Amino acid sequence: MNQLEKSIQNLSGEINPEIVFVAVSAGVDSTLLLELASTYFKVIALHVNYKLRGEASDLDQAFLEDFCLKKRIPFNVKVHDLKTELQLKSCNLQNRAREIRYEFFKENLSKHENSVLFLGHHADDQIETFFINYFRNSGIAGLSGMKQQNGKFFRPFLMFSKKDISALAIEKKLAWREDQSNVKNDYLRNRFRNEIIPELENQIPSLKISVLHLMNILQENQIQLEKEIEIFIKNMKINANISLSEFSSWGDERWIEVFRQFGLSTGFLKEFKKLLQSSKGAKLNFPKNERIESVIREKDSLYFVLYKGKKDETPTIKSTIVCELPKDFSKEVVYLDDSKIDGELILRKWRQGDRIYPIGMNGSKLISDVLTDAKVPHVERDNQWLLCDNSKIISCIGFCIDRRAIATKNSKKIRCIEIAQT
């Protein structure tokens, strides 16, 4: 049995999905993958017709419809007139095409919980990806290339060459369609495929083997790096203010991975490095990112402002009368002597000059000092709320409670105020 076919057979012994979706373009790689996968799995073919090549695009679709009909393989197609879309608005063709097809893939996968997707990427694609990402300074994540398995996405041919795939397709007398746009050097990938890599291989015959070996090593390093950065980001969500000393030994590869996991362009790296050397208060914003909003330079640390959706909502207070004081107290629940409350209780933002008379200390303390002692970053201080009555501060919410209106065991009427931050 051919090694390509054996790889699919082995995979069928490792996974047992209800459905295997196979992404097909009508080219030799994906057509052979569909042929082999249908022998060992229940498959559904997925194809996107972008309408980019006029009649040729429609002929690709027609070819696959006929192929799947003869093989009794269900065929799902998405027709998206990307050519017209690009005429109406400016965007990167290849990035937009990728968005369209992956939305289509995920939509189909969501319909079957126990399903996976097979993609026809092969070793030559992997090598092209290495050089493209090296050219783009993509870091270890880019240089390590595609994974054979990434969640529900599988690439069974990733360790086999285009030559191996074509040879087996010919042996099986398989028909397919050639995409003539692949021979044009309009795109960076095609220039690497058709010109740069063949020329390098002429000079270095072992080039492809060496690159694939290096990519395997980098992929192992990347897996370890991903785990470390996942822990870092998890800790960041708990303590957003992180000491600069923690970053003293960090290299670019770590920051590139942080940016990647946050969905940020590595183009921010240069500005980020400037921030590390900046003075207190310097800020780097990440507009339109839904994971992280900005990074702010504090005196000896960086403060990461994570995206929290809608902001600045007023906390809510719930007031009830209780018979006695509890055994344990918290800074989010305040027990007041009702007779010491002056008028109505209100919530407001703190202002410079505000003072509180904290429980457990003599005299008063500026709210600004309370926040400083609690190491609240400057960026968050503007959002600090106070609970007040008509004449005094009752609580700096989450940090300290004023002693002037608190209830004691001798209070005749105890008012419980529960504060909920939104």
- Summarised one tens digit per residue, pLDDT across range 274-317 is 888 898 889 898 887 878 888 989 888 888 888 776 555 678 88
Ranges of CATH 3.30.465 domains, the chain: 239-306
Residue 214 has pLDDT above 90, yes or no: yes
Distance from C-alpha of 138 to C-alpha of 131, rounded to nearest angstrom: 10
Q: pLDDT tens digit string along 50-98?
A: 998 889 999 999 999 999 999 999 999 999 999 888 888 887 888 899 9
Tell me, what amino acid is at 332? E
* Third-level CATH fold of 3-215: Rossmann fold (3.40.50)
Its sign, for the CA torsion 100, 104, 110, 115, is negative
Quick one: pLDDT at residue 327?
84
Distance from C-alpha of 9 to C-alpha of 41, rounded to nearest angstrom: 9
Please count the other Cβ atoms lying within 10 Å of the Cβ belonging to residue 418: 13
* Third-level CATH fold of 316-420: Phenylalanyl-tRNA Synthetase; Chain B, domain 3 (3.50.40)
Question: First-to-last CA distance in the chain?
Answer: 62
- Establish how many alpha carbons lie within 13 A of residue 245's alpha carbon, considering only the half-sphere containing its beta carbon: 1
Ranges of CATH 3.40.50.620 domains, the chain: 3-215
Quick one: pLDDT at residue 341?
94
Q: pLDDT tens digit string along 334-370?
A: 999 999 999 999 999 999 999 999 998 899 999 999 9
Whether the predicted model's global pTM rises above the 0.85 cut: no
Instruction: Give the Å distances, CA to CA, from 169 to 22, 29, 163, 172.
Output: 17, 9, 10, 5
Q: How large a percentage of the chain has pLDDT more than 70?
A: 98
**pLDDT average, residue stretch 130-137:** 87
DSSP string, 195-225: IIHHHHHHH-TTHHHHHHHHHHHHHHHHHHH
Quick one: pLDDT at residue 309?
60
CATH 3.30.465 is held by the domain 239-306:
yes
Secondary structure class of 113 (helix, strand, coil)? coil
Ranges of CATH 3.50.40.10 domains, the chain: 316-420
Q: What is the mean pLDDT of the chain?
A: 90
